[in-house]
Structure 1
Amino acid sequence: MSVPIIIDFEASGFGQGSYPIEVGFSGRHGEGWCSLIRPEDEWLHWDQEAARMHGIPREVLIERGNTAQFVAEQLNFFLSGRTVYTDGWGQDYVWMARLFDAADMTPKFKLIDLFEIIEESQLPQWESTKDQITKELCVARHRASSDARVLQLTWLRTYDEAKKQTV
């Protein structure tokens, strides 16, 4: 099994009407990419709790965010033909679809639930390993690229540990 590419979307909140505000991924060699997403005119939902959790005010998205088209083009450029994993498939799939719909584009990569490649032997140490990696990386905020990297390293470390125990 090669190192999985992990993607994460942050959003304006949860539920109907929410939309992606940031996307980031961690590639096979740990290289990362991240972008803020400027809200489309019809993307009005805004949850203050989500804003506090991410530390991203809506005004910053409007001023510094990239267009949906630019972000979708970049994702297709970097991830074309690849399988990409997420730990929040149900929500991330919806947010990815909203992004690509706004860009009038189709993803050129496949989005899969990370839990499809987590082996049973990885599960007992998953949360504690994830917490440890979060501390090691000094991740203070809930952001897309850092969340993706934490998940990728958690998968790697728990996969390696599980393999050592079977030898």
Structure 2
Amino acid sequence: MKGLTGTKNILNRTDLRIAVLDLEASALGFGSYPVEVGVALIQPAGHPIRTWSAMIRPTEAWLSNGLWSPASAGVHGISLETLGQQGYAVEHVCDWLNNLLGSKTIVATDAPRYDQDWLDTLFKAASREQRFTLYDFEMLTGGLGPDQYRQLVYLLERDQVPHRAGPDALRLASKLMEAHRGYPPRSEPLEHPPGGGPLAK
């Protein structure tokens, strides 16, 4: 998958799984860490986009040595207290992401440099290996015609960024597919991780 070719018509291919991923973080810059991850899994035409997100409980190392920015917290609206109460352990989040995405899903984000850094921080803290590759969201737009691309830009510009991981991922995925197919897709939550019940805390 790392040597992916033939991306021009990627949205028309039925042999590939495509997902959009987003992360919210404690701050911007060195020492920051992820506080929420969201995924929007794009389905074939006629099927809804499946979405899921989870807040991430900070590790003791992050709390002791990491960077927490009140300005960033003001943007995403997630407090340290909320993370401590509702966040999931880093190990469970990494296992869920690997189980859902694996090595055969094209996973895209609109901020690959930042999001990969935060994924590195997440997987290192969990002593896990990331099994999926992160691509730039722009790669998914390669199959759009000029009018479709302009429509995508228009749809994104008029739609306010939620600044929460799940809704942010869904925003990108749904507007991409609306521009591609000509109508807004349905969406529904992915309630449980693959092969199991509710994500354990």
Q: Does 1:97 align with 2:111?
A: no
Q: How many residues align?
A: 156
**Is 1:54–1:143's contact at 8 Å kept on the other side of the alignment?**
yes
Q: Does 1:158 align with 2:168?
A: no
Q: Does 1:70 align with 2:70?
A: no
Q: Normalized against structure 1, the TM-score is what?
A: 0.85
Over the aligned positions, Cα root-mean-square deviation in angstroms equals: 1.8
Choose which of 151, 154, 160 in structure 2 pairs with 1:125. 151
Give distance in 2, aligned partners of 1:123 and 1:18. Answer: 33
Q: Which has the higher helix share?
A: 1
Point out where structure 1 has 5 or more consecutive residues left out of the alignment: 162-167
**Stretch of structure 1 that moved more, 74-83 or 152-161:** 152-161
Deviations along 1:66-116, one digit per CA (max 9) or x if unpaired, are: 111110001011111212000000100000110001111111111111112
Q: Give identity over the alignment, percent.
A: 32
Q: Normalized against structure 2, the TM-score is what?
A: 0.72
Q: Does 1:46 align with 2:87?
A: no
**Is 1:4–1:152's contact at 8 Å kept on the other side of the alignment?**
no
Point out where structure 2 has 5 or more consecutive residues left out of the alignment: 1-9, 12-16, 44-48, 183-201
Question: What is the SS of the residue equivalent to 1:49?
Answer: helix
Give distance in 1, aligned partners of 2:42 and 2:152. Answer: 20
Give distance in 1, aligned partners of 2:152 and 2:114. Answer: 21
Aligned to 2:198: none
